[in-house]
Structure 1
Amino acid sequence: MRLFFRALFVIPMCALWGLFAIDSYAFETEGTILVAGDHNYPPYEFINEDGEPDGYNTELTLAIAEVMGMEVKIELGDWNQKRLQLEEGTIDVLQGIAQSKARTKTYQFSPPHAIIHQSIFTRKGNPKVTQLSDLRGKDIIVQKRGVAHDYLLQEGVNSPLILVDTHAAALRLLASGQHDYAIVANLPGLYLGRELELSNLLPVGKPFGAQHYGYAVLKGNDELLAQFSEGLAILINTGRQQAIYDKWLGPLEDPSAIWKTIGKITALISVLLFVILGGIMIWNRTLTKQVSRRTEELKLQQQQLVQADKMTSLGVLVAGVAHEINNPISLLLLNLPVLNDTFQDIEEILEEHYQAHGEFYVGGLEYSRMREELPLMLNDMLAGTARVRRIVDDLRDFSRHEPSSHDDFVDLNSTVSTAIRLVDNIIKNHSDHVTVDFGENLPTFKGNAQRIEQVMINLIVNACQALPSKNKGISIKTLYNQIDEQVQFIVTDEGCGIEAENLSRLSDPFFTTRREKGGTGLGLSVSERIVQEHKGHLSYQSSVGEGTQATLSLPVIKATHEH
């Protein structure tokens, strides 16, 4: 329970730390602060294709340096060597390390900026395990001086340990058929397995060993640690840390859980959304009456101004709502998994008491009922909270007006491939008949690959959700329209189709035919805005009962083949 309450108040305590730290010291670090980390621990920290430090930890460190006015240099390398360099004093800070009782003898830690779980990976066909004792006598691959290595040594697990330098090396070694199991951090393990296409590996058992993950300095370096802690508190209070977290770790979260109502939070969101919609509808009707009294030429101009004003006001409103909701949702997403782990930890004790003394009450319910209901309740709450988070993210995307960079030369086929990989599980869960046809030698277009990737994901997911069964198919293709000088991305489904009168409303904010199934009506509105920013367009053709075809068209860069 102490672990639960510590996690429950970690974000408010970060804010308090930042407030009091201002009075506790007044100094400016001289020179460049050397910050180190693991060179192959994605998505937290890694060396990218350009040979530069990247990842959640790296972006967070740069943001802290910006708000605190510090000059930092980030060096990523062999994890064991970086820990030794910190202990020798040749570097100043580790930007991401799991906290443990043994490590507190050497290091001092900032408030955590993430929670790390460990997972056991093995090859398909190997026996599954449910606890560490099942690994007794088995060959276990772990990262040298990583938290799993420390934990196994502390617990005295009687198994041969094969030490490697990185998580990637551990998974490659296991995938090659050598040794029995590998213990790696859960998210990096899943990320690397996907990126390295190690299709013969899978995690077994539940993730375990939830540990706080944050910055660390050598004991006694209080002032430097206080500076990083204050910077982290500022980023948390402004929502910037959450935005960085969502960018790097959000795509790895499981979107497949079925949403159920979680009470007052969801009800509050619904009420606020309906109030906003009601106000917009009333205001729009009033403006329409005024416009109707003008000439046709002025009417057209006024309608355009009304639409612009409406979208601006709606953006301001939903941005405020999203910001206010984001902090309590972050607390729930952080603490519900810890609460679930806490119940699992004490379940054995409760079960022994039940067997020895018979029925007793927990939270006003019989234990024999509560032990079945509580895990389901916690899972439903977590799924519901994640659902609210997705709604908030959609609102935030819908309200975003700042221009993004559109200066990249983007390859359509490459962007489509990335989008398909990200939603591969959703596609497999909805259809057994999927065809992908890439056009050859497509010219590039100028824009933002990630934003267009978001549009593609929306169109593919919509096509999947329209299918009545897995027997129905989806077709994805790319081509070059020479007449219009456009590259096109086309998604065709054999789903339920859309009524003709609704086709023109698909891009309207909050319009959806799937509201009873959790649709918000924001996905295609956001997509429409992104496509307009790229000077392209979205079009739809549909027949009820037969299916729908969505076409994304983007203008190509002329004379691409000469640049």
Structure 2
Amino acid sequence: MHHADADPPGRRASTGHPLLRAALALGCALALAAPAAAADGAPAGRSPARERVIVGGDQSYPPYEFLDQQGRPAGFNVELTRAVARTVGLEVEFRLGRWADMRRALEAGEIDALQGMSYSEERAKEVDFTPPSLIVHHAIFARKGDRPVRSLADLAGKEVLVLRDGIMHDTLRREHPEVKVVPADTHADVLRQLAAGRHDYAVMAKLPGLYLVRELGLSNLTAMDQPAAVERYGFAVRRGNEALAGRLAEGLAIVRNTGEYQAMADAWLGVLEPRGPTAQQVVRWGAFVVIPLVLLLATMAAWSRTLHRQVTRRTADLTREIAERKQKEEELRANQLQLLQADKMAALGVLVSGVAHEINNPNGLILLDLQVLDDVLRDATPILDAHARDHGDYPLGSLRWSRLRDALPRMISDALDASRRVKRIVEDLKDFARQESPELRDGVSIDEVARTAARLVEALLKKSTERFELALERGLPPIRGNPQRLEQVLVNLLVNACQALPDRSRGIRLRTFLDEARGAVCVEVRDEGVGIEPAHLARLTDPFFTTKRDTGGTGLGLAVSAGIVKEHGGTLEFESAPGQGTAVRVVLPAARREAA
């Protein structure tokens, strides 16, 4: 009698391998040596007194147990069960199906025994085991090229395929909860999914795994050499059925002692063992391999000498080419950095122009409303005070008027200051984002620009330092430019110089001079302040970069100034050292004297 859930012929273990056919032939001979058996495994002409037992097993676990191409039970376990049953006078009926179904059938009493089950202490609480018939080695299977693993602990965090309700399923759930266990119904399904690229690894008995890999043609799979687990494997009966367990154990001992067990093991479990080569094969292989190898080595030796001379010449050429290439790569890298910076500045200008417009409108409304609220509060305070005198302190909003009376003016004042600060930042953003060229005119005196800038910040200069010097060189050639925009640059530089002074004893000097070597008119603002770290010098004109974030700096002043100077065809240069002050020079091209 065969199990109704047997795999279709395409999923059953093949018997086409010559060694497996020999094993099947030996199994048939062993069966014929006993009294003739019926088709379902019961001996022909059996005595009515013989006890009938139903033995279950896995339908896809070759070479231990499986359904052959005709759907009949086959394998080492089947032959061993028949021999044991014959020895102790039992009539056996085989039912092979999916392992999980067979395990539940034993628990439900639908079958009497499983002919092969790995032992564990947890399983021993549910079923009774006989002495083991085999020691089964389990291995980790992986796709070729994947990272090898040595133990079950190395599978942490991986998706691992196992047989549903098999010993490795139980072991991983119990001892390695960090492993993501993926159960499959049959060992063939386990290996097919792994070969198809689903999940990371598989764990199963090594001999059935190698057998199925070969029979299914899964050439991209390999088994790790290190055993993942070693399990005792034998008969299991329902818990409490000590009589059947004893008879099976007795029959197993008899079959071992008669030598029949070893014959079956050699037939079924040696089907994958490689045979050693014969002496004739060794000689033939030596002739085909050694002689061509000697000829190849001789040819390579001659070729090596020729190559050595060519390599020496080529090495000198490559050394020169590498040096030239490195120089060109450095130049290319510098040009790329300049292009990236230019592109970043252009994109940032477009962005801040829109942002400034969107912020300015609501901020103007906030500023106007806050001023109105400030006036309202001044007028309402006497009224609210009178109400407090007549009726006592009272809640206004969520706070008492006695607390709000002092807090509200300060809150409105802080809000007004913050709104004005937002307005200043927006104006700086608009200046930074301005794309149109300034209206430039000829004949601009840089001395007049410097004097005007100094007058605009005169109050701040007197407050910040006791020593301010204005040194203007006479006879400077005029420049082409926009006086108001240049004044904005110098005002920014003078404000920065004032903010850099730790006390009023430190000085600031504003001077103009002619750089004849470059044909340029220069304006320099030098302070005796705290100086700038060398790492920050290269970023001073980057938008939003500032070393004064905690004192209200926006990082836009120097960025705007650098843009204005660039519009005039000039450059902004910095010299500084921590604790020694800072010098900033505006270098502008001088007009030709003929044009002047």
TM-score by length of 2: 0.43
TM-score by length of 1: 0.45
Q: Which has the higher contact order (CA 8 A, sep 6+)?
A: 1
